[in-house]
Structure 1
Amino acid sequence: MEKKNRILVFGGTGYIGKNIVKASVSLGHPTLVYTRPLNSQTCPSKTQLCNDFNSMGVTLVQGELEHDQILKVIKQVDIVICVLAYPQVMEQLKIIDAIKVAGNIKRFLPSDFGVEEDRINPLPPFQAFLDKKRNIRREIEAAGIPYTFVSANCFGAYFVNYLLRPYEKRDKIAVYGNGESKAVLNYEEDIAMYTIKVANDPRTCNRIVIYRPSKNIISQNELISLWEQKCGQNFRKDFVTEEEIVKQSETLPHPENIPVSILHSVFVRGDLMAFEIGEEDLEASELYPDYNYTSIHQLLDIFLVNPPAPASAAFQ
């Protein structure tokens, strides 16, 4: 049997990171997670997750984001996947430097996992957010590091929670803009599986892969209608105008102005669907047609039967 690539994940205890770690293990890859040292001040849920990783055979490497420590572990692996949260985006420069020195990495996937940042121009707070990610992409390209850039669009379970608030007893749902713009809601477990697949796929080397499966393209109005059918309840729509959202993006303090700018980009302007998938583009569900991803219909069924816990923050 072909030897499986060894995969190192930075940010593996985070919201999407833990799914990527589990996907890596499930696909048979020796998997390492680089994490800050655990101590008595560590959040109990993170400690439990690390214990779960250990029981799955994951190798936990505890350390700080310092060159010598990073370099030592990078020399032991084949693929590096970074899912550090937004405040740590520029810390990836240290990882890039270590990868250049190590010289052994077959593929690096930086912390993208949201919109296709090279193709949109959102409101200034979100633009500043994306500029940092664009800078990381350009540094990787300039360094000649083999890469795959991932545009995973929206984290499905997170945004179903955010948009529909299924945990709250309510008779109305907020709608941003007119509710007609199309977004792409992908289940987090599928995002993770696609990510491990593209990280190991020769076809995706030095390419951008967009996760835009056809069954997960949906507007807010369509999502609400579908949820009404499934839960047997009708909701009043509380429309938040584009003008209100733009004003909030201009008046809220940083970083509170970033999420509203993301909502404007995704659900008002429809930036996720503002460009066509061309012949030169790679789309995940077309690359892996045999993988049965979770449709938005199926995701809502999960919420009806066994709803995932709400996430405190998952804007990637």
Structure 2
Amino acid sequence: MESMELKSRVLVIGALGYIGKYITIASVKLGHPTLVLLPRFRSPDPVQDEIIQSFERQGVTLFKGDIYNHSRLVKAIHAVDVVISADGEDPTRTIAAIKEVDSLGLWLIHVGRFILVGVPIDVDMTHAALQPSEMKLQRWREIRRFVEQSGVPYTFVVFHILAGRCFGRSNSQQSRFSLPLKIPLCGTGNTKVAFSVEKDVGMYTILAADDSRTWDKTLYIRPPGNVISLDELVSLWESKTRRSVSSLRRNYISERDLLQHYQEAQPQEKKALASLHSAFIRGDQTNFRIDTSVGVETSQLYPNWNYTTMNEYLNRFL
């Protein structure tokens, strides 16, 4: 077994966030000395406080600070080899702190890396048909260019659709025969999308931390078993519940109806509808081939990691 001394030291920014906690857990599980940046060591939110305590029990080092406290951020980065930003915020402050450590001769550039997690699509391969999605995509393109031009080795992680966000967390209030899907069947229901299970996102991110094959590239979490249409998901559920084909009521929303709803929606709802249109009607997640000169796919890099397929994921709702 590889010794802990050979593992990179990892800093997770945004460890209390939805995906950040999975990255932190995976880091510890794979034997990386792991540090998390926290504004406080106890939270008034009982859920977050339990996460913090679980980090402590697992041996995670808690470091007080945030991205707005530059001196504390620099000190935290000084203590690690890999910085993972999982808070979904603009990383320009973090990059500035990394470069300051580098200028002091403290950043081991041949080991060090910045990993940016938090965008579910490849913003350079997508041009949304609806606002405000295109404005958000353009902002993330600018962030990518900033990171690329910083001189800091980087990896962009694209995790696509998180399964936990699309499915109910419990079947306690679900009919055994009702697919616990939170989104409607958009368009024809046949557009392929890519799902990721949260724990797999955490594991793949950490596997990439010491992998030179992912340096200065986009890491796509798009395993073939999870590239699937919504109609195929419904059919999977029918087979698991032993219902006849097309026995479940399939509620489709046409592109025309979605666009009409979009025009009448409030700003916050417009964001959600624009995302649905991009993924489930336009197929922006899967309608391109990965350019291997700038991108890598996780299941090809790590074939020995048994990721959770959507077929397996649905079993938890039976």
Query: What's the TM-score once normalised by structure 1's chain length?
Result: 0.88
Aligned AA (1:261): A
Query: In percent, how many aligned pairs have the same letter?
Result: 36
| CA displacement, residues 10-37 of structure 1 (integer Å, 9 cap, x when unaligned) | 1111111111100000000011111222
Give the structure 1 partner of residue 37 of structure 2: 34
Q: Distance in 2 between matches of 1:275 and 1:108?
A: 26
Q: Is 2:228 aligned against 1:218?
A: yes
Retained in 2: the 8 A contact 1:8–1:34? yes
Letter in 2 for 1:292: N
Asked if 1:205 corresponds to 2:215, the answer is yes
- Name whichever of 137-146 and 243-252 sits farther off: 243-252
Which residue is 1:245 aligned to?
A: 258
Encode CA deviations 1:94-118: one digit per residue, 9 max, x unaligned: 1111111111161101233411111
Distance 1:4 1:116, change over 3 A: same
- Indicate which of 61, 69, 81 corresponds to 2:63: 61
What residue number does 2:113 align with? 107
Helix, strand or coil at the partner of 1:168: coil
**Which amino acid letter does the alignment assign opposite residue 236 of structure 1?**
R
Deviation at 1:256?
2.7
Larger helix proportion of the pair: 1
Alignment of 1:301 onto 2:315: yes
The 1:240/1:166 distance shift into structure 2, 3 A limit, reads farther
Conservation of the 8 A alpha-carbon contact between 1:109 and 1:150:
yes
Asked if the contact 1:113/1:152 (under 8 Å) is kept, the reply is yes
Task: Tell me the amino acid that sits aligned with residue 37 of structure 2.
Answer: Y
Root-mean-square deviation over aligned CA pairs: 2.2
Q: Report the 3-state secondary structure (helix = DSSP H, G, I; strand = E; otherwise coil) of the residue aligned with 1:48.
A: helix
Kindly state the Cα deviation for residue 138 of structure 1 after the two structures are TM-superposed.
1.0
The residue aligned with 2:97 is: 98
8 Å Cα contact 2:117-2:158 kept in structure 1: no
1:204 Cα deviation after fit: 0.8
Which moves more between the two structures, 172-181 or 188-197?
172-181
Residues 255 and 70 (structure 1 numbering): CA distance in 2 closer, same or farther, change over 3 Å? farther
Distance 1:182 1:154 in 2: 12
Q: 1:148 aligns with which of 150, 155, 161?
A: 155
Alignment match, 2:79: 76
TM-superposed CA distance for 1:240, in Å, is: 1.1
d(CA) in 2 for partners of 1:139, 1:14 = 24
Q: Is 1:286 aligned to 2:286, yes or no?
A: no
Distance change in 2, residues 1:244/1:36 (3 Å): farther
Q: 1:257 aligns to what?
A: 270
Unaligned runs of 5+ in 2: none
Q: CA deviation at 1:279?
A: 4.1
Change (3 A) 1:31 1:231: same
Work out whether residues 119 and 159 of structure 2, in 8 Å CA contact, stay in contact via their aligned partners in 1: yes
**Secondary structure in 2 aligned to 1:191?**
helix
Q: Note the residue ranges of structure 1 that are not aligned, 5 or more in a row.
A: 305-316
Kept in 2, the 8 Å contact 1:96–1:140? The answer is yes
Match of 2:48 in 1: 46
- For this pair of structures, how many residues does the alignment match? 298
Once the two structures are TM-superposed, the CA of residue 136 in structure 1 deviates from its matched residue by 1.5
Q: Shift in Å at residue 4 of structure 1? A: 1.1
Structure-2-length-normalised TM-score: 0.87
Q: Distance in 2 between matches of 1:244 and 1:185?
A: 25
Output one character per residue of 1:241-270: Cα deviation in whole Å (capped at 9) or x when no partner.
112222333443333321211111111111
Measure, in 2, the Cα distance between the counterparts of 1:99 and 1:79. 10
Displacement after TM superposition at 1:165 (Å): 8.3
Over 3 Å counting, the alpha-carbon distance change for 1:12 and 1:109 in structure 2 is same
CA contact (8 A) 1:245 1:261 kept: no
1:16 aligns with 2:30: no
TM-aligned CA deviation for residue 38 of structure 1: 4.5
Shift of 1:232: 3.7
Change (3 A) 1:95 1:37: same
Alpha-carbon separation, structure 2, partners of 1:77 and 1:218: 38
Cα distance in 1 for residues equivalent to 2:36 and 2:298: 25
- Contact 2:73 2:94 (8 Å CA) reproduced: yes
In the TM superposition, what is the alpha-carbon distance from 1:53 to its structure 2 partner?
0.4
* Secondary structure, aligned partner of 1:272: coil
1:137 equivalenced with 2:137 (yes/no): no
Show CA shifts across 1:125-178 (max 9, x none): 22222222222211111111110011111112322339x988434868731111
